[in-house]
Amino acid sequence: MVQRIYIPSDTTAKALGADRLAKLINIMASEQGVELDIKRNGTRALYWLEPLIEVDTTQGRFGFGPVKEADLESLFAAKFWQGDVEHPLALGLVDDIEYLKKQQRLTFARIGEIDPLSLGDYQTLDGFKGLKKALKMDPQALVDQVKESGLRGRGGAAFPTGIKWQTVLNAPAEQKYIVCNADEGDSGTFADRLVMECDPFMLIEGMIIAGLAVGATQGYIYLRSEYPLAYKTLNQAIALAYANNLLGSSIQGSEKHFDLEVRLGAGAYICGEETSLLESLEGKRGLVRAKPPLPAIVGLFGQPTVVNNVLSLAAVPFILDQGAKAYADCGMGRSRGTLPFQLAGNVKRGGLVELAFGPKLSELMFDFGGGTRNGRPLRAVQVGGPLGAYLPESQWDTQLDYEAFAKEGAVLGHGGVVMFDDTVDMSEQARFSMEFCVAESCGKCTPCRIGSTRGVEVIDRIRSGENVDSNIELLTDLCETMVDGSLCAMGGMTPFPVQSAMTHFREDFVKNASSATNTEEV
Amino acid sequence: MTTPRFVTWEPTVGQSIIDEFKAKPGALLPLLHAIQDRFSYIPEEAVALIAASLKLSRAEVHGVISFYHHFRTKQPGRHVVEVCRAEACQALGSRSLEAHAKSTLEVQYHQTTSDYNITLEPVYCLGNCSCGPSVRVGDEIYADVDNQRFDELINSLKTERLEVQ
């Protein structure tokens, strides 16, 4: 009997050697006369278990992981392809793994289960059901569904998606655009990448529905060049969608039309800011535009444009298929639905954790994450990417909710959680935040362009113990100027990690104060 | 980006790439990518051709090239090795990895080793944030890269046989 096994194929699994494992397993199986049907799935994104090999059985899928080359011999000896066998790496049924079981995977329901490029797999697990409904609905009804779901922009700004769509729907124009912001530049985030590498048809479906809702016939996915595998997978998926009449003209026999193309960025973090992204798509330097006019009214090539994050668009097929209420029933307060959190940095069990809004940050980091990877005490956590605040222990009980985080002076952003142990030097982290802004500022506003350079210099002086008190005062002042005087979030939020580090980890800034000569000159 | 190559600039090849892309809306970025993918950098001569074909000034084309970290105007080494500098990798020791990379290769960022084998570049996040430190070589990404693994990786790049074309 041919036994089907799954070997993951996303960037992280490959980076951990999954391709080589697949090759070796194939060779060993044929040597030993075992008939294996090796299928490449995406990943479950339980990264401490990767490469996680799964075996299909009548009871479900049994998992083995993390599998290294050296484990293959014993796995074959244990006849791992039978599934429920004794082996040190045996994990039992994958669906029963606590980390996975405790999640509410709405957007990521299929991830890791399917072959990313199998239309059949996608359709078997509810794929294109939302689109089928959408093709029969009128645009206003579609926009209403998204409004009722309570979905807010998952890129970080959390703007209500339905309202954005309504604005574009109301704007009269010959040509409108759907632009997917896939410039996932925040460190500690990889949820967009997972969608694109492991379930690309979901994004395509979401974009087509968005097009139907607002009357746009052209879509662009603006993808960062740091994601070569996502680029390849998306292009293959788009070609398959065209070949199966899901893209192009008269979609599925309707009169609807939607074209889709992937465009590569070129290593500029600022192009994740929506107006900078539009400039870049137009073939220009990614300089931030002043708002208004909003991109929803004057967007790409001057036309009304929906700019949505990958996760926002990926949530749409579920909302259409299961209904707005099913989505809105999850969450708390004004944060409806789920957010895919990403546990990263120094974490024991890193990966993707999709949860309805509401649990505490500490539950995420300890119950799911299991604390630090190296076992040292956790000291600081940066949530929401390089522009997000560092949270000290006193804030770890904050609920995962946009408003609750805002109240603490922090941001949830794109859901990235980067954990640091007690060896971290927070003044060094603050310096990096400024240094990153020096490298990535588009240069349009002075507080961001020059302020960040001065910020690095001031922090260097503080770190070397030079006039610490007055330099801290200067840095505080500089941060305020950047927050108040910058056009976009780059300059406006770069101070968040700096200010939070100064407030909550002041000891790291003043530790050299006594060792150097302090000649205060005011 | 996967295989090392030494394709020298040829104006006719460059022009044919330009012609293939110039009618696209917002053609400049896809076009620059195609040129760099082919020639491993964007030669000065290409800028003039691109400017003429897209009806832009050379300054405008240069402005775009210099804005984006990915585009380069000098030929890199056979392999471009990118070390992630972002926070999630910092939390797992990437600062010591970058110091190690610079000292063993005897280069700073954006520089090429004296044997033209490796160009070292910083990168801000490869999306492999649960299993860092991360390194990218060509289109391959490597996880859990400590100093030893970095050395092994560099050795494998040094010993790779070059195909004579």
DSSP secondary structure of A83-123: SS---TTEEEEGGG-HHHHTS--STTSSTTTS-TT-HHHHH
Question: Residues B57, B18: contact at Cβ < 8 Å?
Answer: no
CA angle A174, B24, A211 (to 5 degrees): 40
For residue B72, tell me if it sits in a domain. Answer: no
Kindly give the parts of chain A with pLDDT less than 50.
521-522
Strands B135-137 and B118-123, how do they pair? unpaired
Amino acid type, A491: G
Over range B104-113, report the average pLDDT.
97
User: What number of C-beta contacts closer than 8 Å exist between A and B?
Assistant: 152
Same domain, B61 and B122: no
A299 contact residues in B (CB cutoff 8 A) = none
Looking at the structure, tell me whether residues B83 and B144 fall in a common domain.
yes
* Whether residues B115 and B54 fall in one domain: no
Which chain A residues have a beta carbon less than 8 Å from that of B29? 263-266, 280-281, 283
Residue of A nearest to B121 (CA): A267
Instruction: List Cα–Cα distances, A475 to A199, A432, A481, A502, in angstroms.
Output: 45, 14, 10, 9
Distances (CA, A) of A406 to A309, A395, A399: 20, 12, 11
Range with the lowest mean pLDDT among A203-207, A386-390, B3-7, B44-48?
A: B3-7
Do A12 and B91 lie within an 8 Å CB cutoff?
Answer: no
Asked if residues A390 and A505 have their Cβ atoms less than 8 Å apart, the reply is yes
In a domain, B151, yes or no: yes
Residue B1 belongs to some domain of the structure: no
The answer to whether B131 contacts chain A (CB < 8 Å) is: yes
Contacts of A280 in chain B (CB under 8 A): 29
Q: Closest residue of A to B90, CA-based?
A: A345
- Asked if residue A66 has a cis previous peptide bond (ω within 30° of 0), the answer is yes
Residues 6 or more apart whose Cβ sits within 8 Å of residue A210: A165, A178, A216, A219, A306, A308, A313, A316
Q: Go through A288-306 and write b for each residue having 16 or more CB atoms within 10 A of its CB, e for each that does not.
A: bbeeeebbbbbbbeebbbb
Residues of A in contact with B132 (CB under 8 A): 344-345
Residue B140 belongs to some domain of the structure: yes
Please give the structure tokens belonging to residue A81. 């392809």
Q: Is B84 annotated as a binding residue?
A: yes
The verdict on residue B23 lying in a domain is yes
Residues B63 and B83 in one domain: no
Residues B104 and B60 in one domain: no
| Facing residue for A268 by CB, picked from B68, B123, B142 | B68
Distance from CA of A371 to the nearest CA of B (A): 13
Please report the pLDDT score of residue A288 as a whole number. Answer: 97
The total number of structural domains that make up chain B: 2
Q: Residue A155 in contact with residue A384, Cβ under 8 Å?
A: no
Q: Where do the domains of chain A lie, and which CATH numbers do they carry?
A: 3-101 (3.40.30.10), 119-328 (3.40.50.11540), 331-421 (3.10.20.600), 426-510 (1.20.1440.230)
Contact B130 A351 (CB under 8 A): yes
Q: What CATH number is given to the structural domain containing B138?
A: 3.40.30.10
Torsion of CA B54, B60, B61, B66, to 10 degrees: -160
Of the three residues B46, B67, B88, the one that is the final residue of a domain is B67
Q: Is B87 on the interface with A (CB under 8 A)?
A: yes
Q: Which residues of A58-81 are buried (b: 16+ CB within 10 A; e: fewer)?
A: eebbbbbbbbeeebbeebbebebb
B127 touches chain A (CB under 8 A): yes
Question: For residue B131, which residues of chain A lie inside 8 Å, CB to CB?
Answer: 12, 15-16, 47, 50, 350
Higher pLDDT, B1 or B158: B158
Any idea what the Cα angle at residue A157 is, between residues A155 and A161, rounded to 5°? 75
| Domain co-membership, B97 together with B135 | yes
Nearest CB among B68, B92, B139 relative to A228 is that of B139
- Paired strand residues for A92: A63
- Which residue is listed with tokens 């790049």? B157
Same domain, B23 and B86: no
A268, A281, A386 member nearest B26 (Cβ): A281
B83 and B109, same domain (yes or no): yes
pLDDT in tens, B72-105: 999 999 999 999 999 999 999 999 999 999 999 9
Q: Say if B112 falls within a structural domain.
A: yes
Cα A268 to Cα A90, A130, A325, B72: the distances in Å are 42, 34, 38, 13
On whether any CB of chain A is under 8 Å from the CB of B142, the answer is yes
Q: Could you report the per-residue pLDDT of A259-290, keeping only the tens digit for each?
A: 999 999 999 999 999 999 999 999 999 999 99
What was the pLDDT predicted at A205?
A: 98
Which of B42, B50, B53, B67 is the best residue to mutate to test the A interface, defined by the most A CB atoms within 10 Å of its own CB? B67
Query: Does B70 contact A350 at a Cβ distance shorter than 8 Å?
Result: no
Cα A493 to Cα A486: distance, rounded to the nearest angstrom = 9
Q: What is the pLDDT of residue A114?
A: 97
Q: Amino acid identity of A188?
A: G
Residue in A218, A418, A437, A440 to test binding to B, most B beta-carbons within 10 Å: A418
Please indicate whether, in this complex, the C-beta atoms of B32 and A266 are within 8 angstroms of each other: yes
Say how many residues make up chain B. 165
**CA separation for the pair A345, A316 (Å, rounded):** 30
Among residues A408, A475, A50, the alpha carbon closest in space to that of B144 is found at A50
B13 interface with A at CB cutoff 8 Å:
no
**CB-CB under 8 Å, B70 with A188:** no
Residues forming a β-bridge with A263: A222
Taking residue A134's Cβ as centre, other Cβ atoms within 10 Å add up to 27
Which helix (H) or strand (E) covers residue B81, if one does? strand B79-84
CA–CA dist B32, B28 (Å, integer): 6
What's the gap in Å between the CA of B116 and the closest CA on chain A?
23
Q: Which residues of A touch B1 (CB under 8 A)?
A: 228
Assess if residue B125 is contained within a domain. yes
Where do the H-state alpha helices sit in A282-392? 310-322, 324-328, 361-362
CA nearest A82: which of A4, A19, A168? A4
- Point out the residue among A16, A50, A285 whose CB comes nearest to the CB of B67: A285
Domain that holds residue B116: 79-159
Q: Residue B91: its chain A contacts at CB < 8 A? A: 344-346, 418-421, 424
B131 annotated as a binding-site residue: no
Predicted confidence band of residue B7 (pLDDT cuts 50, 70, 90): confident
Nearest CB partner across the interface for A193, out of B70, B127, B144: B127
- Predicted confidence at residue B5, as pLDDT, reads 55
| B147 and B109 belong to one structural domain | yes
Q: Kindly state whether residues B85 and B62 are assigned to the same domain.
A: no
For the residues of A459-508, what is the DSSP string, one character each? HHHHHTTSSHHHHHHHHHHHHHHHHHH-SSHHHHHTHHHHHHHHHH-THH
Which one, of A18, A97, A93, A3, lies nearest residue A50 by Cα? A18
Residue of A nearest to B60 (CA): A284
Name the residue among B99, B100, B85 with its Cα closest to residue B134. B85
Residue B2 lies in a domain: no
Q: What is the Cα–Cα distance from A46 to B131, expressed in whole angstroms?
A: 11
Which of A11, A421, A442 has the CB atom closest to B127's CB atom? A11
pLDDT at B1: 43
Domain shared by B151 and B97, yes or no: yes
pTM listed for this prediction: 0.96
Q: Report helix angle A228-243 to A191-198, nearest 10.
A: 40
Cis previous bond, A116, omega within 30: no
Nearest to B88 among A281, A283, A418 (CB): A418
Strands A218-223 and A259-264: parallel
User: Is B27 close to A190, i.e. CB distance below 8 A?
Assistant: no
What pLDDT shows up at residue A518? 54
Please check whether residues B59 and B119 belong to one and the same domain. no
What pLDDT shows up at residue B159? 75
Q: CA A72: distance to chain centroid? A: 33
Contact B129 A418 (CB under 8 A): yes
